[in-house]
Structure 1
Amino acid sequence: MKDIRRPAHHRSRGPGRLAGLLMSLLVILGLSGSTALAATDGTAQQALATIKVPSGAKDAVAAMQPSWNLGNTLDAIPDETSWGNPKATRELFKTIRAQGFHSVRIPVTWSAHQSTTAPYTVDAAFLSRVKQVVDWAQAENLYVVLNVHHDSWQWISKISTDHDNVLARYDALWTQISATFRNEPRTLLFESVNEPSFDDATAAQKTQLMNELNTSFHEIVRASGGANKGRLLVLTTQGGTPSQDLMDDLYTTISALHDSNLVATVHYYSYYPFSVNVAGGTRYDTAAQNDLTDAFARMHDTFVDRGIPVYLGEYGLLAWPDHNHPDRVERGEALKYFEHLGYTARQAGVTTALWDPGTFAYLNRDTLKWQDPALFAWIKSSWTTRSGTASFDKVFVAKSSRITAQSLTLNLNGTKFQSLWDGDTKLVAGKDYTVFKDRLTLTAQALTRLTGERDYGVNATLQARFSRGLPWKIDVVTYDTPVLSNATGTPDSFTLPTKYQGDLLATMEATYADGSNAGQTSWTPYQEFNAAFSPDYPNGTIILTPEFLKALRDGEPATLTFHFHSGAKVKYKVTKSGDSVTGTAVTES
């Protein structure tokens, strides 16, 4: 790796240099003479919001809970509507506030609107639009976190090889932002940079560069005066990653700045195999739960317990929900994750900001309605209480077999089980079900009634109710083992005819005869859901993606094992030979 060293001629960033840079950029922004002086020395403008911000950073950040991200909007490249969302409106923020959020993070990508050469001027119209959106949010009594977003990988990541130019552009950007928002109320927070990464740098160099960006940001904002003297500033780890070493680095930076108005930020998207459903991560299991618990314990111990508030700037699952594709994360397992995260964050004293990419995920920006109100109800409930869950949200009853009793393990989460309901009908304990400690068992008699004529699919949806929180829904599903059929196609288009028979696809293993892994995800036999394979339930097929097929060895059969949520496993062989692909169902004796 190339050795990147800090240039010996690098200038210090004292107040004199910063003041000069501020004045020159005020001229760029069209503020000169007495206007520029008024901008730098004038009294603060009247507060846009009526929120009384606590004086202590820890209390202020606590008052921001819960938080929401205006994702894929002002951070879209190159323009606000480029990634499918409509322009932000004040009505949007009114909706967010009415839904119980107390703050919003407004990610902004500046690259398409900033000159790439000195003096790195930001387009005045874009800066005005950002200010309009920020002011709308504050006018709806929301705290706002404003940042530098995808610039992190577009040009800031090149700081290791183009140090002086990148740093000068970064400094110029924050100087202009600071000048524009200098007199905004303290409900506005600045965040240094989103998920920064550094190309072609050693670990030590990355640590130094991260510290340099955070420190430069801090010095520029504080030197700009006005309300920026005491504004809450949010400093990040590399990549927004909550690993211990990177949080220790950030703690060192914050401690050295001797500023009581600083906030640490990281992101959390769950245990990776679970978050994208790869490597067999189909359940919110012990590994996934421990990953979350450990991450929040680190946040608490590294920062919160030492008096530094933590703003979790983004959380969610990396590929869920996505209403344009089949659910790669099983719904009930996702609900467990959100329930657990809300509780754990409260215990750790961490303020959480839901990452919302927009119309096809959580809040539909056109209708201002939640795409999935029941999902949002679980997220919202987690802000204040715990809810009981179970080992799964489905009970599978085989159509081809005699009906027998089925059991689930209850995850009480500090609650008490109270009752089980089928719609408006309360089931009878001892007759329809039994509960022993944490074991809920549905009797054969109840399942016979609930499955009715035993059509494939969901026959009934029960509700397990607990002493507090939301009820846990349990689908009673009639199924039989899915049946796959032979098929032919090409590496660009291949589907397996599939009779699902009420079952749902969980994951796919792919191996060769020698035991090695097949497919583009070579480090595990369990390939990534929707990236290597995808169920098409309406058309009765399983799609193998071109990326998966083109990664197969030519002429060598790969054995695929499809795992279904009922527990059924079905094998299939697929062979790519040049421009053709042949699939053969495997009949096991």
Structure 2
Amino acid sequence: MLASRPGSGRRQRHPVQLQPGLEPGQYPPGLMHIRQPPRVERGEALKYFEEVNNAARAAGVTTALWDPFSYLNRATMQWRDPALFAWIKSSWTTRSGTASFDKVYVPKSSPIAAQTLTLNLNGTAFRGLWQGSTQLLAGRDYTVSGSRLTPTTTALTRLTGNRAYGVNSTLQARFSRGLPWSIDIVTNDAPVLSNSTGTADVFTIPTQYRGDALAGMEATYADGSNAGPISRNPYQEFNQAFSPDYPGGTTILTPAFLAALHDNAPVKLTFHYYSGATVTYHVTKSGGSVTGTTS
């Protein structure tokens, strides 16, 4: 276990109910574990560490990271994800501003329009937007109204360039203290899925992601009941029931998910993407065979 900065030594004010196997101050291993693709959206993970370390500092709790050889390279003693550790380390001593999301999605098939993010100041003051070493101009490139930060149509048109799918540019929102908040400007369109056949051991859905990224998946039967290993709600577990393969252009349905489906019972899948898009797909398992269709 790697201990981080100790707390102030004050006694905890309230008892804490721990997840079995966790020690006081230990980061949840499910959130910390490095997997590709990551199951927790990058910006949301950074906000979690910023918030939990601030709370630990205020309560005098020493935090700890259980590292299963994923985070620290034992040969070089270097962090494998320096940016993640920078956020953890910074929050030991100060707060950082963040925003409601770390991306602005700009649909390629639609006219470019201004979009708004909500700033989480966390006691800091907003100092402006930068692209690399260049400061963007307030009024022309963005506006701020209260906690609402809005990159303008003019700025987004310039930042998306030829509007190729994916990340076109990255901005930094800077604050009076703490670390800057990165904002990717992403060109996208709604993903396109195609029909597929496979087996209960190997089944993939051809997927044109078109600059978007998969956030979640719901699975239900025709009568509205939940389908899959998780039965208490329709949302299935990322990387356990399904997983995006961005380089391969597919969405993987795992053997564990398919094994939990009823035979010859059509299942409606609703894929959620970080742009806000949703795409519906249908799968049916019959013995060891699986068929997937877009309608």
TM-score (norm 1): 0.47
1:466 aligns with 2:178: no
Q: What amino acid is aligned across from residue 575 of structure 1 in structure 2?
A: T
Q: Quote the Cα distance in structure 1 between the aligned partners of 2:100 and 2:77.
A: 34
Q: Does 1:333 align with 2:11?
A: no
Amino acid in structure 2 at the alignment position of 1:340: E
**Corresponding residue of 1:480:** 189
Deviations 1:207-263 (A, max 9, x none): xxxxxxxxxxxxxxxxxxxxxxxxxxxxxxxxxx932xxxxxxxxxxxxxxxxxxxx
The Cα offsets for residues 117-162 of structure 1, whole Å up to 9 and x where unpaired, read as: xxxxxxxxxxxxxxxxxxxxxxxxxxxxxxxxxxxxxxxxxxxxxx
Structure 1 residues 375 and 268 mapped into 2: Cα distance closer, same or farther (>3 Å)? farther
Q: Distance in 1 between matches of 2:223 and 2:57?
A: 49
Partner of residue 181, structure 1: none
List runs of 5+ in structure 2 lacking aligned partners. Answer: 7-14
Q: Contact 1:267–1:313 (CA<8 Å) still a contact in 2?
A: no
Identity of aligned residues (%): 67
2:225 equivalent to 1:516: yes
Contiguous gaps of at least 5 residues in structure 1: 1-68, 71-95, 104-240, 244-265, 271-310
Post-superposition shift, 1:269? Answer: 10
d(CA) in 1 for partners of 2:20, 2:146: 33
What RMSD over aligned residues (CA atoms) do the two structures have, in Å?
1.9
Closer/same/farther in 2, CA of residues 340 and 322 from structure 1, 3 Å limit: same
CA distance in 1, matches of 2:21, 2:238: 17
Cα distance in 1 for residues equivalent to 2:5 and 2:78 = 18
| C-alpha distance after superposition, 1:411-439 (max 9, x if no partner) | 00000000100111100000000001100
Aligned mates of 1:550, 1:381 — CA distance in 2: 44
- Residues 417 and 466 of structure 1 are in contact (CA less than 8 Å); yes or no, is this contact kept in structure 2? yes
> What is the Cα deviation at residue 313 of structure 1?
4.9
Structure 2 residue 252 is the aligned partner of structure 1 residue 540:
no
SS in 1 for 2:257: helix
Distance 1:365 1:267, change over 3 A: farther
Please tell me whether residue 433 in structure 1 is matched to residue 142 in structure 2: yes
- Which residue does 1:564 correspond to in 2? 273
**Which structure's CA Rg is the greater one?**
1
Give the aligned length: 287
Deviation at 1:268, TM superposition (A): 9.5
Residues 72-98 of structure 1: CA deviation (Å, up to 9, x unaligned): xxxxxxxxxxxxxxxxxxxxxxxx8xx
User: Counting helix residues as a fraction of each chain, which structure ranks higher?
Assistant: 1
- Report if aligned partners of 1:387, 1:468 keep a CA contact under 8 Å in 2: yes
The residue that corresponds to 1:242 in the other structure is 16
Deviations along 1:248-300, one digit per CA (max 9) or x if unpaired, are xxxxxxxxxxxxxxxxxx56999xxxxxxxxxxxxxxxxxxxxxxxxxxxxxx
Task: Note the C-alpha offset of 1:317.
Answer: 4.4
Quick check: 1:322 aligned with 2:96? no
Structure with the higher fraction of residues in strand conformation:
2
Which SS does the other structure have where 2:88 is aligned?
helix
Instruction: State the one-letter code of the partner of 1:462.
Output: L
- The whole-number CA distance in structure 2 between the counterparts of 1:572 and 1:403 is 29
What is the Cα deviation at residue 387 of structure 1? Answer: 0.3
Q: What SS does the corresponding residue of 2:177 show, helix, strand or coil? A: coil
The offset of 1:485, in angstroms, is 0.3
1:400 equivalent in alignment to 2:79: no
Question: Does 2:61 align with 1:350?
Answer: yes
- Map 1:367-516 to 2 at 5 A: 367-516=76-225
CA distance in 2, matches of 1:494, 1:327: 21
Q: Using CA pairs below 8 Å that are at least 6 residues apart, which structure has the higher relative contact order?
A: 2
Structure 2 letter corresponding to 1:339 = E
Task: Confirm or deny: 8 A CA contact 1:421 1:462 kept in the other structure.
Answer: yes
Q: Deviation per CA, 1:351-376, whole angstroms, max 9, x where unpaired?
A: 11122211xx3112233211110000
CA distance in 1, matches of 2:285, 2:19: 40
CA contact 1:560–1:572 (8 Å) conserved in 2 = yes
Counterpart code for 1:558: V
